[in-house]
Structure 1
Amino acid sequence: MIESTANAQHRFSILIVDDEPANIDILSGILSPYYDVKVAPSGVVALKIVEKHTPDLILLDIMMPGINGFDVCKKLKSDKNLSQIPVIFVTALVQGEDEEKGFELGAVDYITKPVSPAITLARVNTQIKLAHQMRSTENLVQSRTSELEKSQQSAISMLAAAGHYNDTDTGHHIWRMAAYSKCLALAHGWSYERATLLAQAAPMHDTGKIGIPDNILKAPRRLDDIELDIMRSHASIGYQILSQSDTPLFQLAAEVALCHHEKWDGTGYPNGLSGNDIPESARIVALADVFDALTMKRPYKKAWSVKEAFDYIEMNSGKHFDPNLVQCFLSVKKDILATKAYWLTFEDKNIVPTIHNFLPRSCHVKDNEYD
């Protein structure tokens, strides 16, 4: 039984903590043939050892001078890096309240002194197996979660690319405007997790353009009314595509796709929503989207200066854009410009990103650099 757990390929490690040398000798003699054993003559020494060498299990005496076993266990369980180490108390104490306290602190078992070799080996082996199985399960879950996250990020990139497949002049627009959206959301009080979700959803805002005919999408002229209605249908098409998933990310993306062309004064499309009836996610993305579009060079226009773009955003406060978001956006000009400069490095190096959920680590933009 023991050999199957501590096989030739990997011998699990055990830390014995006891202030009595005789007790250490007995336990070491029982366990050393099957496990790599380390010993500590006090709680203080034990805590120093586990910081450098994390054991697979700890046998912990309770009655020790200085820091007793209960205090050692409490410290271990309060440390997220050490809390998963199984602790078995080895003690002569047999009072029920002591056992109850030990289990409340996170111990997995008790072994009473004088120790029985057979009982000690059996209980240690059981807890080692359980801990090993738990770690293996956690590693598998983390691996599967990582795979799912990669799949989700790939889906985001593909849907974002699909929406701009026929638009070869947007460069990294969808990624920059996503970064601006996150920056604005954070400044407006969104949690980091929610703002990150918005940064993932934002690049999919034009997914519906995949359903627009090329002769309209690429028309080198002003669209007539019928063509304009068809072009505007991309918001609803995007919503129909993205809302097929009930995950928080794609539900948010569907909301943004549907409403990012609505305007604060009610003159937008597809539903003519106004004010706070427009989801805040879409209001944020709309502002970020327009700012980045203005500062981009396109075949039909020159890139606006950042000052001109900021002025336009301010001028359209209460018309196209949420006034509160405009003031918030203007208050973080430095962060917006640092984000813009950061993302331009990707274009300068001709790097095609997949999905990035971060902002530059620091913003070192001078007060008037946008002028």
Structure 2
Amino acid sequence: MPLPSLKEQFAALIATPSVSCTQPALDQSNRPVIDLLAGWLGDLDFSCEIQTISPGKFNLLASYGSGPGGLVLAGHSDTVPYDEALWQSDPLKLTEVDDRWVGLGSCDMKGFFPLIIEAVRPLLDQPFKQPLLILATCDEECSMAGARALAEAGRPLGRAAVIGEPSGLRPIRLHKGVMMERIDILGRSGHSSDPSLGHSALEAMHDVIGDLKGLRAQWQAEYRNPQFSVPQPTLNLGCIHGGDNPNRICGQCSLEFDLRPLPGMDPEILRGLIRQKLQPLAERHQVSIDYRPLFPECSPFEQPADAELVRLAERLTGHTAEAVAFGTEAPYLQRLGCETLVLGPGDIACAHQPGEYLEMSRLQPTVRLLRQLIEHYCLSPQ
């Protein structure tokens, strides 16, 4: 059976739902997407390894050629949830509108895989001196469990890795980290007419917020990187819940916040500084304070500007490598020894939105760019 065309591959991947979500009712397996990719790549004589990450969740590592070094072309196989009522077209059907391919995952980022296949097909009759690895991960949109499992396994992948997240075909060598944290305070409720009858979790949280704002100011004075549009680290107090009535001393209060550290800021050091502030507050207010991440953090990412991959991507695209605020799987691949870059055809502004699309004008430039990268790292490696 002949390999489907580029457009047919796009359509098949979009028609195969693979939502990852922290809400179990919306979460789906990505196995059907992995099976599609493994089938196509297997037909091209790639060696395909499907890794079980958790029940219903899988990574695919497909390789052509063998030995050390080589190039990794990586992406995630899952999408965010979608609200079908807000779409002008069926989100699970590839639709062509105004020279755009519209569909869930077209931009972020199932569409990257057919473009890799299109780029490599005419090269497969040449000897690969170093391997090409195609990596499809699971659960990037919620827990990054697929990339984290790879990093924890510690198995080297390749000399260079390109992640096809939406970057408008501009190379990205830095991004901030993402930390989502929660503080729970348990006090003692009592009648509001006599403060001695309880210990207010709400008043303790007031002081916690004051100390978090103090740390934020300290970090923003200490750390700055002008390559980011928001050059300082940020800390957003996202939501707070506590108490139940004006005439009761508040017995329980919870705060969730988002911290975006710059490259060079270690998430565990930041957490240690927060914990140092919390312990004295717990003692002063006679409450218990529990502090923990909502999810494992995505670390900040920076690939040095003088890296071979950065210089090559800048030459091939004509754009100087940039910084972005969103997080990716780049730190995990970098941890495995790969020079790593984010470089993909989509636009982040339409990702996670109804009507997500990929400009058709980006298709052939992406194929040409990927082919040049494969030639550099696999066919004629320096």
TM range, normalised to the smaller chain? under 0.3
Q: Which has the larger radius of gyration?
A: 1
Question: What is the TM-score normalised by the length of structure 1?
Answer: 0.23
Going by fraction, where is helix more abundant, 1 or 2?
Answer: 1
Going by fraction, where is strand more abundant, 1 or 2?
Answer: 2
Question: What is the TM-score normalised by the length of structure 2?
Answer: 0.22
